[in-house]
Amino acid sequence: MPRSYLKEARRRVGPKRERIGPIIDRLATEHADAAIALRFRSPLELLVSVMLSAQTTDVNVNRVTQVLFEKYGKPEDYLAVPQEELERDIFPTGFYRQKAKALRGTMRLLLEEFDGEVPRRLEELIRLPGVARKTANVVASELGDAQGIVVDTHVRRLSQRLGLTRHENPVKIERDLVRLVPRADWGRFPHLLIWHGRRVCDARRPRCEDCVVNDLCPSSRV
């Protein structure tokens, strides 16, 4: 069970519905460059990158895909080689056997049911092997049609610290956030929390004195 940050939210700072707008505005100003760190040139490359990013860093994925995408340009390419060869090509991302199997299954389904194109709808994306809700949310959002809010470790931690949720489960956290965050911000909101989590709101030592939303945060130590 990942660490919970719910108990840190002790201060009274006002209703969350009144705070969410200023929180988004301030973080958007502070982290104007907040965006996905994965590098891709097409919907297929995006999907593959996100699938490979499980249990590893974006930097590592980008290092692997820089070479991978020169060899594999379309779904058929992933099925044209033995699985063992694909495993070797993605080995540095970890869990390479499971990822190779999921990639091949996804490519097969794309060809069989989606004319080789990456679907845009969440309910279609989650049918792809190895694509759970978080991955589907990332892909849909980056393709310009956010249908939910991505909840990763940073989003979970900051949502709890900011008092935007009282839940531990990512699905329930997402449910709280989509009720609270304006739909127009569903795509950028996770990026803002992720970059703020990386740069300021560290898991062990949050730099509350440097935080632009410390007066809106029930967990602020200032």
Dihedral Cα 78, 84, 90, 96, nearest 10 deg: 110
Nearest in space to 103 (alpha carbons), one of 78, 72, 132: 78
C-alpha–C-alpha distance, residues 196 and 10, integer Å: 20
DSSP letter for 9, please.
-
C-alpha–C-alpha distance, residues 164 and 160, integer Å: 6
> Is 89 labeled as catalytic in the residue annotation?
no
Q: Locate 208 and state its tokens.
A: 């509350």
Candidate list 134, 145, 185, 215, residue with the active-site label = 134
The span from the CA of 109 to the CA of 97, in Å, is: 19
Q: Classify 94 in phi/psi space as left (phi over 0), alpha (psi -120 to 50) or beta.
A: left
> Would residue 145 show up in a list of annotated catalytic residues for this protein?
no
Q: Is 55 left (phi over 0), alpha (psi -120 to 50) or beta?
A: left
Coil/strand/helix, residue 209? helix
Q: Is 5:157 a contact under the CB 8 Å cutoff?
A: yes
Size of the chain in residues: 222
Catalytic residue among 25, 58, 152, 215: 152
Q: Which positions are catalytic?
A: 134, 152
